[in-house]
Amino acid sequence: MQVNPEFDGSESFIFTAADESQTATLGTALAEVLPAGTTVALSGTLGAGKTRLVQAVAGAAGVNPREVVSPTFVLIQEYSGRRKIVHVDAYRLKDVDEFFALGPEEYFASDALVLVEWADRVLEALPAERIDVHIEVLGTTRRRFEIRAVGEKYREVIADLRSMLPDGGSC
């Protein structure tokens, strides 16, 4: 039952993963529904599961997940599977100018799927329309993912996710 009729529920989706295999399920679903050229802004504390989720998305797109590690020394990594994936880790960036110096617009304008860890540190440099994923640690293996469409363009992604995965709970 719709509790609040004002809320159409279309722009955000909550997924709770009971363990890593369910995080992988979310990653597979994201790889399926995210259109080419989407930027995904990932936030959450150290060890929340940002890199794990990127591994799952990349793995579902045909990239060897072992290739996917937090880009500690290289700030931007590119993987080629069935689709092109760009993996950014903003953790070690001094400031947003250092990020701008890497020429990120080129990646955002391409048809690659761009996944940015520690996105909150470089928010002003990210495309205005994007998908935000915030991860919260609920327990040793339990994680809450809030997936939000920022801007009109990606509302359909949320609807697609809702049709594939249980909203709120785990699968």
Ligand X SMILES: Nc1ncnc2c1ncn2[C@@H]1O[C@H](COP(=O)(O)OP(=O)(O)O)[C@@H](O)[C@H]1O
Q: Which residues bind ligand X (CB under 6 A)?
A: 17, 19-20, 23, 44, 46-52, 70, 117, 141, 143
Strands annotated E in 18-151: 39-43, 76-80, 84-89, 113-117, 130-137, 143-150
Q: How many CB atoms lie within 10 A of CB 14?
A: 16
Closer to ligand X by CB, 142 or 153: give it.
142
Residue 27: strand, helix, or coil = helix
Answer yes or no whether residue 55 interacts with Mg ion by CB under 5 A: no
Q: Draw the binding track, 110-139, toward Mg ion (x: CB under 5 A; -: no contact).
A: -------x----------------------
Q: Closest Cα partner for 65 from 53, 73, 48, 75?
A: 53
Closer to ligand X by CB, 46 or 128: give it.
46
Answer yes or no whether residue 87 interacts with Mg ion by CB under 5 A: no
Q: Which does 144 bind (CB under 5 to 8 A by kind): ligand X, Mg ion, none?
A: none
Q: Closest Cα partner for 125 from 141, 113, 111, 107?
A: 107
Binding site for Mg ion (CB under 5 A): 50-51, 70, 117
